[in-house]
Structure 1
Amino acid sequence: MTVPTTPNLQSLGHRQTLRERVRDALRAAIISGELEPGVVYSAPALGARFGVSSTPVREAMLDLAKEGLVAAQPNKGFRITQVSEQDLDDIAAVRLLIEPPTVRAAVRVIPEADLPALRELAQAIVDAVERGDLVGYVRADHVFHLALLGYSGNRHLVDTVSGLRAQTRLLGLAPLLHSGRLGRSAAEHHDLMDLVEARDAAGAEELMRRHIGHVRGLWASGTEEE
């Protein structure tokens, strides 16, 4: 049976609209904590921050409001929603149920021809850290992991994980970047690709479990011991 190429790899060459680019950048800024929970941001201020007009920002924020990441504040702008520690624990628990076994199954079916493109996605995560670009880091990490999950052929599963990842907050990324520890965590994506290329399904599953654990420990607070 021929396994279809993951949608994320197919769409690498897709040219996003300005609204989509702004939405993805804002989402990543929220997840990384660059845009702070509870703070109200105006569309003009965000437009100046991201180098665009207020119109695509307003449109993008309305999209993110549907995802629950922001709440519109009449005549003021958009408030970044807060997520409780319990919610973050619950999100991580659901991701642990879905992602590790899905990656284990995917390892067996990823076409050899797709491995270089996946390796490039892993390198994009490392490159973002080296630039000190937290927003770029979150975006690249998102694309890489959804690309792997895409080999399940289950669009509902991929969409569910995408939504869960969007609700996650990684407020400890900045101190980890400055300490150099985020770079070591970014390199872990190459470790995962080594396991994928070796067709080590069990090893890839276990690494994914540790990876998600980092989200609630090391990356969430920036203080967890290695």
Structure 2
Amino acid sequence: MAAAKPTAPVLPVLGGTRSSYRERVADALRAALVAGELRPGQVYSAPALATRFGVSATPVREAMLDLAKEGLVDTVPNKGFRVTEVSERQLDEYTRVRALIEIPTTAELAVTADPAALEALRPAALEIVTAAEAGDLVAYVAADLRFHLGLLQLAGNHHLVRVVRDLRERSRLYGLTALVEQGRLRDSAEEHLEILDALLTGDPEPVRAVMTRHLGHVRGIWAAERNSEAAG
């Protein structure tokens, strides 16, 4: 059976306030940046992105201005927004800082977290697997972010959560498309279920082991495309 191809993200029509819709669009754009679906150095217009995401141009333009303030894109007068370049050194540094924070914090949750609170994150872990099977990279990245931040929130350190969110949103996973084409993205997705199962043993060491492996795979995913280009 052929692997699923990446699908174009479409945001559903949402209720709620204008600001909440703008935030939803911004979250989807951040996920597309992380997934590598919006390419560094390329200029994107708000109308083109609106068509791609199935929404109107106004919330896209507003959301892109938010991303510009975060340094994720640059405004290009009369044209749109250019995705900022992220160097391999920067990506490596982001991964290392994440490992320093996420591995010990998540491992400690095996002892401190309420098992019911851990189980409550299983739907998010399953959503990651579902997105991987569908080849929906934006949904994959968004669910992955919710899962890992949900875990870190159980540690009760809100500043730590903000730091990790910022690091994740500045990262790029250039190799995700290749994993979809090779039918291997589901394997990476299922590591999130492994993390939960390890946490529920109550032993920090299995959690530390699977988190170390998981973040090592993340480093490999962002580097995959560049290594392939270098080899070619």
Residue 37 of structure 2 corresponds to residue 30 of structure 1: no
Residue 124 of structure 2 corresponds to residue 118 of structure 1: no
Q: Pairwise mapping of residues 210-225 of structure 1 onto structure 2 (< 5 A)?
A: 210-221=213-224
1:105 matched residue in structure 2: 108
CA offsets per residue over residues 129-164 of structure 1, 9 Å max, x none? 111100000000000000001111111100000000
Q: Pairwise mapping of residues 89-168 of structure 1 onto structure 2 (< 5 A)?
A: 89-168=92-171
CA offsets per residue over residues 15-69 of structure 1, 9 Å max, x none? 6821111111100101111111100001111111111111100111111112211
| Contact 2:46 2:80 (C-alpha < 8 Å) held by counterparts | yes
Question: Whole-Å Cα distance in 1 between the matches of residues 128 and 46 of structure 2?
Answer: 28
Question: Whole-Å Cα distance in 1 between the matches of residues 222 and 214 of structure 2?
Answer: 10
Once the 2 structures are TM-superposed, how far is the Cα of residue 219 of structure 1 from its aligned partner? 4.6
Question: Whole-Å Cα distance in 2 between the matches of residues 128 and 192 of structure 1?
Answer: 18
| Contact 1:118 1:144 (C-alpha < 8 Å) held by counterparts | yes
Identity of aligned residues (%): 55
Which of 51, 55, 58 matches 2:58? 55
Aligned residues: 211
Q: With structure 1 as the length reference, what TM-score do the two structures score?
A: 0.89
Runs (5+) with no aligned partner, structure 1: 1-13
Aligned AA for 1:205? R
Question: Whole-Å Cα distance in 2 between the matches of residues 220 and 60 of structure 1?
Answer: 28
Question: Whole-Å Cα distance in 2 between the matches of residues 54 and 95 of structure 1?
Answer: 34
SS in 2 for 1:217: helix
CA offsets per residue over residues 164-188 of structure 1, 9 Å max, x none? 0011100110010111111111011
Question: Whole-Å Cα distance in 2 between the matches of residues 177 and 67 of structure 1?
Answer: 29
Which of 204, 208, 215 matches 2:207? 204
| Contact 1:176 1:219 (C-alpha < 8 Å) held by counterparts | no
Runs (5+) with no aligned partner, structure 2: 1-14
Q: With structure 2 as the length reference, what TM-score do the two structures score?
A: 0.86
2:80 matched residue in structure 1: 77
SS in 1 for 2:74: strand
Change (3 A) 1:180 1:15: farther
| Contact 2:118 2:151 (C-alpha < 8 Å) held by counterparts | no
CA RMSD of aligned residues (A): 1.7
Structure 1 range deviating more: 199-208 or 174-183: 199-208
| Contact 2:173 2:221 (C-alpha < 8 Å) held by counterparts | no
